[in-house]
Structures are given as structure tokens and as C-alpha cells.
Amino acid sequence: MIYVVTNRKLAKNKDLLGCVEKVLKYGACSVILREKDLGYDELYEIAKKIKFITDKHSAKLIVNGSLRVAEEVKAYAYHSSFVNFINNGGSKIIKNGVSIHSLEEAKRAEENGADYVLAGNIYETACKPGLKGRGLEFVNSISKNITIPEIAIGGISEENVQELINSGANGAAVMSSAMKNPAVIKKIIGKLNKK
């Protein structure tokens, strides 16, 4: 399962919708709409357009950071930070995803009703320069201690995606490389299918 996280500022030719269309055409199963700087109105408008595209490709839309938008566009899930999820809870009508950065957070997220966790960052990534990757042992320890799906994020590429899945991740999320070049999704999925 390959997830793509949006960043319209990185999208090729500044065409976020075109980029989403391409990553889904290349086989991504879900899109996490993560545009933290947008207010409700702008985020809602983009979410509606992306929901149309994900529905067309039988893919899932996950809205990050706005429970209201996630529920109003009937997204598959609402995604939030660990702190926000623990303090405010999640949705009662759609699934809940939570970003985690430790085994303890993963366990607490599951105990509090998360439907999946986004674990990162696994490898060093241009998105977080200077932040050391947590590595495959981190992925493995989480997969052994929770029963909900674990999606790994951070520096995922065609070179390392298979070892990530072999370490226990149920899927991988890609942002920067997919936004800059949607065809990278085709390469990553091709690598997984060669197994």
C-alpha cells in the first residue's frame, strides 16, 4: 500500500490536482491531503476536488489537520498529530490516522482508537534536514507491538521500500519525491511487485 502525502508547493508545475491524478494512475492507493497552511475554506475546496479524483481511481482520501473538512467531504479518514489526537480525540464517523514518532506513541494511539499510525521518519529525508532516520528496527518494534496498520514515512524510495515492508510496515508514504516526480510511484510499486 503506497500512500502519497501532498505538498502543493512541491508539486510539479505547481499542479497539485494533476500530480494527484498521476500518482493514483501509477498505483498509489491513498492520498493524504496535508496542506497545513490553508484555512478551512481553501482546504475544503481542494479536498472536494481531490475527493473527486480519488473516487474516480477507487482510492482513499485522508485529510490531515481538519476534522471538519475530513467529515464534510466524506473522506476515508482524518489524520492528526499524536498530541492533537490524544488531547482532542478523532472522528466518530470516519477512520482516524495518527502520526507517531515512538513505540509508546504507537501503543497509546491504538489504545485511544486510532485506525492506523504513520510512523516516521524512517530514513533521513530532505523534508527534515539533519534529523536522523529512526531505521528499520523502529518499524519492526512497532509492527510487533500494535495490531493496527503501520504506514512508514520518511525517505522512502524504490531502493528501500522492500526492506521496509519486510521489517513489518503495512505500507509506505511518500511526499517530496512523488510531488516533484509522480512517476516515482510507478518505480516504487514496480519494485514491490517484483518480490
Query: Which pLDDT score is estimated for 195?
Result: 59
Query: Which pLDDT score is estimated for 132?
Result: 82
Query: Which pLDDT score is estimated for 124?
Result: 81
Q: State how far the Cα of 1 lies from the Cα of 77, in Å rounded to an integer.
A: 15
Beta carbons within 10 angstroms of residue 1's beta carbon: 17
Where the chain has pLDDT below 70, the residues are 126-131, 195
Residue 15 DSSP one-character state: -
- CATH architecture of the domain covering 2-193: Alpha-Beta Barrel (3.20)
- CA 113, 116, 121, 123 torsion-angle sign: positive
- CA 41, 21, 121, 14 torsion-angle sign: negative
Query: Which pLDDT score is estimated for 193?
Result: 84
Cell of 87: 488531547
Residue 164 DSSP one-character state: H
Peptide bond between residue 121 and the one before it cis (omega within 30 degrees of 0): yes
Quick: pLDDT tens for 57-79.
999 999 999 999 999 999 999 99
Show me where the domains of the chain are located: 2-193
